[in-house]
Amino acid sequence: MANPLYRKHIISIPDFSREELELVVEPAARLKASPRADLLQDRLIATCFFEPSTRTRLSFETAVQRLGGNVIGFSDAASTSTKKGETLADTVRIISSYTDAIVMRHPKEGAARVASEFSAVPIINGGDGANQHPSQTLLDLFTLRETQGRLDNLTVAFVGDLKYGRTVHSLAQALSLFGAKFYFVGPEALAMPDYLCEELDERGISYTIAATIEEVIPHIDILYMTRVQRERFDEAEYKKIQGQFVLRADMLRNARPNMKILHPLPRVDEITPDVDSTPHAYYFEQAKNGVFARQALLSLVLNETV
Amino acid sequence: MSEKVYARNVEALKNGTVIDHIPAGMGLRILHLFKLTEYGERVTVGLNLSSGHMGAKDLIKVENLVLSEEQANELALLAPKCTVSVIEDFEVVRKQKLAIPEEVTGIFSCANSNCVSHVEPVKSHFRVRVTEHDTKMKCKYCEKVFSKDIVVGNR
């Protein structure tokens, strides 16, 4: 029997069941331990990046090529027919007739869902505006499993921009299928959106809003840091909150031994460099895991069995 | 045409639908959103009519047209207290029930200006969820959740 993700579009985390999320995590671990160079042999994958990206595009392209597949694509919409006014629907129709799957990033929210309605091959969403970035969540889940040995009943603190951070929203939605407990730490103006809190309430997930990073550190398995973007605030407001949501090594004294710090990167100044050398820092390994999680995802979408 | 027949043509409806008790100011929007002028049938619109319990109301009569159940349900999102009467041979033969639909396609625009549905050849699509305090609409494309009034007041 084909795996449940075979030939499926990968658009949004709420489309996934708990079993499907676990399905990606397993082969990601296997591929990290023993690389395979044959899973995408003779496959051609398009990476269509209508807006720039560094890690996502390069890690998808690395994943394809390490699995023996080939890549075509573009990294900027300026050089495509979009510039001439072609709709995304038409662009996708054409590219899907050339390739076995399309990985895409687009500045408009919902772009990947629209693409999936016009594509003959699976669409993998590499980010649609501020909406979803499912492969980031899959690599986050893989990293949680790798560091904690499980996905069930983890206690996770999300810090920083909880309002606009799509990685935070998607990971919270995914972990709510595994009975997690959350702490939300961030400026009031960037609090978790109501609709997400309502979703968590409906699933019986407990969450606590905390004022400082220090007070949550002794209680958590994962500290998920995000960047508070300066442009969200006026100068005076920013000065007030600046420094409040910054993690320094001396704040980690009471951390559990298993506690790991994750960050979707790029970080700017929300994690000071002295944290990098602590046993809790795991964000660079997390970024590296992006390749394995994407390898697992592509393998499952393009092969009946893996 | 005699004066009497002319007056009856405007005021009474032989066959068709009367949408009554529309909150004043919403009649033209309903006409526009449901494209009621595009059926080629005679449409009579009353605006700011006096109404006992509403103060003022709008009213729409469309000849030879019966709203589908889907349209009636979509109307429930806009004007839940309006009444929809089906007329046959000048008599009201039934009142259509208005129930909030679970999904609504193609009528309302997404309130998120960065939603791709504004620029691609797709119909808007919302999943509707009635909560204790509010009715929420979730866009299928951008996945944003809005209070119903934000979406239905958006056009």
Q: What share of chain A is helix, strand, coil (3-state, %, to 5)?
A: 45, 15, 40
Stretch 160-199 of chain A: residues touching chain B, C-beta under 8 Å: 195, 198
Q: CB-based contact (8 Å) between A11 and chain B?
A: no
Give CA separation, B104 vs A89, A210, B78, B124, B155, in Å.
22, 39, 12, 8, 15
Instruction: Tell me the shortest Cα–Cα distance from A276 to chain B, in angstroms.
Output: 36
pLDDT at A146 over 80: yes
Stretch 2-41 of chain B: residues touching chain A, C-beta under 8 Å: none
Q: Establish whether A105 is a catalytic residue.
A: yes
Give CA separation, A107 vs A52, A55, A192, B101, B129, in Å.
9, 16, 22, 31, 28
Q: Is the distance from CB of A263 to CB of A224 less than 8 angstroms?
A: yes
Handedness of CA A92, A93, A95, A99 (dihedral sign): positive
pLDDT at A43 over 90: yes
pLDDT at B4 over 70: no
Nearest beta carbon to residue A195 from set B115, B121, B145: B145
The one-letter amino acid code at B118 reads H
Helix residue ranges per DSSP H, chain B: 3-11, 27-33, 69-78, 148-152
Read off the pLDDT of residues A101-133 as tens digits, 9 standing for 90 and up. Answer: 999 999 999 999 999 999 999 999 999 999 999
**Longest C-alpha distance within chain B, in Å?**
57
Nearest beta carbon to residue A131 from set B117, B120, B142: B142
pLDDT at residue A306, as a whole number:
84
Q: Which two tokens stand for residue A290?
A: 């992006």
Mean pLDDT of A1-15: 96
Q: What is the 3-state secondary structure (H, E, C) of A141-201?
A: HHHHHHHHCCCCCCEEEEECCCCCCHHHHHHHHHHHHHCCEEEEECCHHHCCCHHHHHHHH
pLDDT at B7 over 60: no
pLDDT at B115 over 90: yes
DSSP annotation of B51: E
pLDDT at residue A153, as a whole number:
97
pLDDT at A48 over 80: yes
Report how far residue A40's alpha carbon sits from residue A63's, in angstroms, rounded to the nearest whole number. Answer: 10
pLDDT at residue A244, as a whole number:
87
The one-letter amino acid code at B18 reads V
Nearest beta carbon to residue A109 from set B114, B122, B145: B114
Assign B127 a pLDDT band (cuts: 50, 70, 90).
very high
Assign A243 a pLDDT band (cuts: 50, 70, 90).
confident
Mean pLDDT of A134-154: 98
Instruction: Tell me the shortest Cα–Cα distance from A265 to chain B, in angstroms.
Output: 24
Read off the pLDDT of residues A172-227 as tens digits, 9 standing for 90 and up. Answer: 999 999 999 999 999 998 999 988 999 999 999 999 999 999 999 999 999 999 99
Burial of B123 per CB tally in 10 Å (0-12, 13-18, 19+): exposed
% of chain B surpassing 90 pLDDT: 83
Q: Establish whether A137 is a catalytic residue.
A: no
pLDDT at residue B36, as a whole number:
96
Q: Which two tokens stand for residue A46?
A: 């398009």
Question: A interface mutation test: which of B141, B146, B147, B148 has the most A CBs within 10 A?
Answer: B141
What residues of chain A lie within 8 A of the CB of B117, using their CB?
110, 114
Read off the pLDDT of residues A247-295 as tens digits, 9 standing for 90 and up. Answer: 999 999 999 999 999 999 999 999 999 999 999 999 999 999 999 999 9
The b/e string for A51-78 (b: 16+ C-beta within 10 A; e otherwise) is bebeebbebbbebbebbebebebbbebe
Q: Establish whether A263 is a catalytic residue.
A: no
**Longest C-alpha distance within chain A, in Å?**
59
The average confidence (pLDDT) of chain A is 95
Q: Establish whether A56 is a catalytic residue.
A: yes
Instruction: Tell me the shortest Cα–Cα distance from A127 to chain B, in angstroms.
Output: 12
Assign B5 a pLDDT band (cuts: 50, 70, 90).
low
What residues of chain A lie within 8 A of the CB of B135, using their CB?
none
pLDDT at B75 over 80: yes
Q: Which two tokens stand for residue A79?
A: 């050089």
pLDDT at residue B1, as a whole number:
47
DSSP annotation of A220: -
Assign B19 a pLDDT band (cuts: 50, 70, 90).
very high
Q: Is the distance from CB of A124 to CB of A5 less than 8 angstroms?
A: no
pLDDT at residue B2, as a whole number:
54
Q: Establish whether A55 is a catalytic residue.
A: yes
ipTM of the complex: 0.91
pLDDT at A134 over 60: yes
Assign A1 a pLDDT band (cuts: 50, 70, 90).
confident
DSSP annotation of B110: P
Assign B87 a pLDDT band (cuts: 50, 70, 90).
very high
Mean pLDDT of B16-39: 94
The H-or-E segment that residue A242 falls in is none
